[in-house]
Each structure stands twice: as C-alpha cells, then as structure tokens.
C-alpha cells in the first residue's frame, strides 16, 4: 500500500463516500425497482442521512453556500445545507430511474427560450455551457426530444469507476451520448464532429478537469478558473456557446435558464477568450447566487489553474 488513502486512489473511493458505489447502488435499487412513490418521497430522507454520515462533505457544502450568499444565521445555514443534499438525492433518484419501470421525462420550463431558438435555427451545432446544478443530467433528454437534435454530455470521469459505470448506464438509457474527457489531446475530435453535424454538446464549466487548461475568471468575488475547452471548441467549430443552468422545482419538475449566446471568431483578437470566459462565469454566478442550494459543489472552492 502507498501512503494514499482509498479516497485518494484513482478509480476507487471509500465504501461510503458520497460519490461512491454504495450510495449509487442503493439509489439505483430504490429508483429502478421500488414503487414509484419511493422515488418521489424517499430522496430527501436519504439526502439528510448522507449529510449526517459525512461531516467533511457537509462542511464543504456549508462553506460553499457562505461563499455564494455570505454568512447567515445558524438556522438558515442548516436549512440550506439540508436542502442542497435533499435536492441532490432527488435528482439522482430521478436519473437512476432511467431505463426502468419508473422512468419518466421531467416537466421542463425554459426561461430565455428565444436565445435557444435562434442558435438552433443557425444549424451550426451548439455548446451548452452548464454546471453541476440540479437537473443538468435530466434536461438533456428533454432538450433532445423537443428539438430533435443529437445531444452528447461531456464530463470528467469520476474517481470511482464502478459508480460511474452504474450511473452512465442510466444516463445512456435516455438515448444521450456520453464522453468522459481526460488529458488525451485527441479526445476533442468526437466533439468537433458532433458540432459539425449540427449536434449539441453539454459541457460543465464549474470544474476544470485534472490535466486540462483553465481560463482565470472572477466568481463570487474570488479568483477562479473555468475550462478552456468549450471556448476553444467554439473557436474551431463556429458553434455558439449558450450558458444554460437548471434548477429543481419539485418531483420531476425543473426549469432551465438560457443566457445570451457567445460567438467566438476563428482567430480571436487578444483578450477575447478571457472576456468570453468571464461572460460565462458571470452567467453562472448570476444563476447560482439566485439559486444557491441548487449547485452541487461538494468539494468547496477550487483554486485558479494556469493556462
């Protein structure tokens, strides 16, 4: 054994880690094989149980909430932490019901729909810049069905391979394509092909995958970074970037807010990439500040990464 704990071992996590196989299997069992009422009513209780069982993760969520909305009283603090875990559990149960007798597409309202209608009419493909907010995995299948467009979700591979594969099977059950990105320089080729075929890429901007370059931005009054990849893909393909963030209203009920599209020239002048990155960061900050318990950042603040 090395000096690393199981939490730090690539491809594995501790048995009861919040992103580990134990909780994922438990959620899949109930969501796919239990009665429909279990999917609706049990997640808040499971979310509270996870919060109580993992004080370090709970502290990270509390710290992140304070970073977003500032300090509040202890009662509000505790309520918001519980709400974050409960919402996370509800989203996970609904995703993990995909491909089972309990599967059902959620209701989805859209704010800023004219922005999306405009870019889809252009037929150049679209990069949906999203984040780990409530429903980001559930909105993709609805978007695909409503717009008759191929959607690929692009995300960083999880540290627990078994938990990731269990979750991926449920994601793919809706007809959504998946691509887990890493440091492979050729991993962007399928993304360019998808855009040039007029498809949509859903890419998260709130975390910079290990080994990838980030663009420095300011978020919540702090120095942060967002992935450079979506910006470079927009530059190379001509596809617009559309900031789109989601929130959960209740059981299988969500809304998505669409922000103004960002277009990048093939040869951007100095400062354009940085300004576009800040525009993405501002859109995310705006949404998350208004919906702080809908953002699932269980690791706390991330330091900026050099390009």
Name the percent of the chain lying above pLDDT 90. Answer: 59
Band the pLDDT of 305: cuts 50, 70, 90.
very low
* DSSP reduced 3-state for 223: strand
Q: What is the pLDDT of residue 187?
A: 64
Per mean pLDDT, which range of 90-104, 184-198, 268-282 is the poorest?
A: 184-198
Q: Tokens at residue 245, please?
A: 């963030």
pTM, whole model, 2 decimals?
0.87
Region 90-104: mean pLDDT is: 92
pLDDT at 7: 36
Residues 195-206: tens digit of each pLDDT: 999 999 999 999
Which two tokens mark 186? 């050729």
Q: What share of the chain is helix, strand, coil (3-state, %, to 5)?
A: 50, 20, 35
**Higher per-residue pLDDT: 256 or 8:** 256
CB contact at 8 A, 208 and 176 = no
By three-state DSSP, how is residue 169 classified?
A: helix
> Please, what is the angle between helix 272-290 and helix 55-69, to 10°?
110
Output DSSP code: residue 226: E
Q: Has residue 127 got a pLDDT over 70?
A: yes
| Lowest-pLDDT choice from 1-5, 36-40, 48-52, 172-176 | 1-5
Q: At what angle do helices 55-69 and 43-53 cross, to 10 degrees?
A: 100
CA atoms within 13 A on the CB side of 51: 24
If pLDDT is split at 50, 70 and 90, which confidence band does 182 have?
low
| DSSP three-state, residue 133 | strand
Residue 82 has what pLDDT? Answer: 94
194's enclosing H/E stretch is: helix 189-196
From 16-20, 143-147, 255-259, the region with the lowest mean pLDDT: 16-20
Average pLDDT of the chain is 86
Q: What is the mean pLDDT of residues 261-277?
A: 95
pLDDT class for 21, splitting at 50, 70, 90?
confident
Of 272, 288, 291, residue with least CA distance to 220: 288
Whole-number Cα distances in Å, 306 to 104, 162, 187, 290, 300: 42, 31, 21, 29, 19
Dist. CA 104–CA 40, nearest whole Å: 12
Per-residue pLDDT of 251-267, as tens digits, reads 999 999 999 999 999 99
pLDDT band for position 60 (cuts 50, 70, 90): very high
Given a cut of 90, whether residue 71 has pLDDT beyond it is no
pLDDT of residue 13: 52
Tell me the DSSP string of 229-275.
HHHHHHHHH-PPEEEEEEEEEETTEEEEEE---B---SSPPTTHHHH
Neighbouring residues of 261: CB distance < 8 A, sequence distance ≥ 6:
115, 118, 119, 240, 241, 242
């Amino acid at each position: 054994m090395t000096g690393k704990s199981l939490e730090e071992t690539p491809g594995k996590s501790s048995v009861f880690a919040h992103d580990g196989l134990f909780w994922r299997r438990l959620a899949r069992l109930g969501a796919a094989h239990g009665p429909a009422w279990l999917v609706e009513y049990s997640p808040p209780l499971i979310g509270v149980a996870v919060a109580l069982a993992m004080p370090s993760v709970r502290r990270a969520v509390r710290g992140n909430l304070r970073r977003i909305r500032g300090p509040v009283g202890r009662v509000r603090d505790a309520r918001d932490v519980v709400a974050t875990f409960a919402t996370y559990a509800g989203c996970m149960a609904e995703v993990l019901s995909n491909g089972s007798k309990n599967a059902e597409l959620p209701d989805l309202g859209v704010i800023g729909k004219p922005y999306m209608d405009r870019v889809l009419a252009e037929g150049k493909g679209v990069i949906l810049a999203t984040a780990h907010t409530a429903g980001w995995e559930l909105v993709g299948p609805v978007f695909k069905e409503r717009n008759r467009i191929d959607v690929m979700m692009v995300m960083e591979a999880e540290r627990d391979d078994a938990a990731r594969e269990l979750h991926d099977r449920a994601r793919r059950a809706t007809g959504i394509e998946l691509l887990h990105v890493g440091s492979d320089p050729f991993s962007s080729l399928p993304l360019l092909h998808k855009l040039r075929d007029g498809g949509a890429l859903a890419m998260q901007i709130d975390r910079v995958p290990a080994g990838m370059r980030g663009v420095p931005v300011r978020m919540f009054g702090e120095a942060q970074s967002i992935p450079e990849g979506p910006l470079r893909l927009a530059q190379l393909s001509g596809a617009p970037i559309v900031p789109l963030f989601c929130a959960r209203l209740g059981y299988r009920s969500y809304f998505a807010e669409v922000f103004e599209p960002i277009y990048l020239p093939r040869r951007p002048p100095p400062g354009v990439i940085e300004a576009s990155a800040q525009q993405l960061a501002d859109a995310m900050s705006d949404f998350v500040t208004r919906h702080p318990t809908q953002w699932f950042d269980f690791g706390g603040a991330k330091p900026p990464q050099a390009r």
